[in-house]
Amino acid sequence: MPWGPERIPKKLDADRVPHAVEAAHTELSAGRTDRALAWMRAAIQAEGLPTAKREEVQSLLEECAARRIEELSKPGSDPEELAELVDLDLPRQLAVTAGIEAARRMIEQGELVDAFEIIQKVDTKYPLHHERQQAGEVLGDIGLALSKDYSHFLFFYDRQDDAQKVLEYLILNYPRAPKCDEAYATLSRIYADERNWSLAVDRLEKLLLNHPASPLCLAAQAKIPELRLQSIASPEYDRSALIRAREELEAWLHAHGGEAMEQKVRIDLADCLRRLADSDMGIAEFYGRVDNPAGARRHAERSAEEAREAGDEGRVARARQFLDEHPPEPGSPEPEKGAAP
């Protein structure tokens, strides 16, 4: 009588395959799916099997793998055992299913980075696999969950970095995934926190381009010019960005007046107009110093108009005082208000 269960070799000779098939059926009946699968993995390695026998072994291998995946997919099971099945030479469909289920179990246990890595492994080993929709959903869950974790470990580990990595992978490889619009918006927030304004704006622009029906688009359209304003350090050197932000804010108000965000957008527009007024006033003062009265008055007039639209009487008064101190030259036509320099 043997002292323990029969040892399962990694590979069998053809004449031992019938015994392996019988043993696998016995193990399945006893609920020992791990041993049943091991028998069939050894049997499929046998050389010189007749076609009918090889088809029988392949069919039983798939049955054992499916039963094993089903068992390990139950709540409370060790996801690492499921993940190990991805590395075995299982049929493509079963290996992919094992990987996706392993990732889901890892999410339940809070192992978010491990879940991401197993999805990456599945994608690398089986490109364009049959469960891409499910994989995209899982990636969205992982990345968004990580984005809500602001924990750090010294200076070397930041959950926001993990969120950025997962969400960038998602938008690159699964651009039509259900939560991709949230991924774009979250990435914009992460980059804005890092003061990486160009990427923060870019991700929102891609949200509008790739997911125009998303309910997040309304806020994204208002956020883009806000980010532009946050990025501007000096109105003297960023007038083009100010002009673009103004156009975007005015377009939002024209299209979405009456929405809940209107007051915030109007505040941003007033901020933008005040900065434009300061920019024009600075240029006017420069022209005044270099004895270019026409240019000085042109920019002062525009500064007054921008300040008036912003509702800033102080800036209006400053511009009007400058104009009073720099009257037009005798015989020169007064430039049209708001004329371009």
pLDDT band of 10, cuts 50, 70, 90: confident
Instruction: Say which range, 62-71, 84-93, 110-119, has the weakest mean pLDDT.
Output: 84-93
| Single-letter amino acid, residue 227 | L
From the CA atom positions of the chain, what is the Rg in Å? 33
| Single-letter amino acid, residue 68 | R
171-178 CB contacts, 8 Å cutoff, 24+ apart: 171/203, 171/206, 173/123, 174/132, 174/135, 174/136, 174/139, 175/210, 176/136, 176/210, 177/133, 177/136, 177/137, 177/139, 177/140, 178/136, 178/137, 178/140
What is the distance between the alpha carbons of residues 205 and 247, in angstroms, rounded to a whole number?
Answer: 15
What is the distance between the alpha carbons of residues 303 and 316, in angstroms, rounded to a whole number?
Answer: 7
> Where exactly are the structural domains of the chain?
241-341
What is the distance between the alpha carbons of residues 45 and 95, in angstroms, rounded to a whole number?
Answer: 18
Residues 335, 300: contact at Cβ < 8 Å? no
User: Closest by alpha carbon to 178, among 205, 214, 127?
Assistant: 214
Prediction pTM value? 0.84
Check residue 16 and report its DSSP letter: G
Q: Which residues contact 88 (CB under 8 A, 6 or more apart)?
A: 41, 95
- pLDDT score recorded for residue 119: 97
Q: What is the pLDDT of residues 256-314, one digit of tens each?
A: 989 999 999 999 999 999 999 999 999 999 999 998 999 999 999 999 999 999 999 99
pLDDT band of 334, cuts 50, 70, 90: low
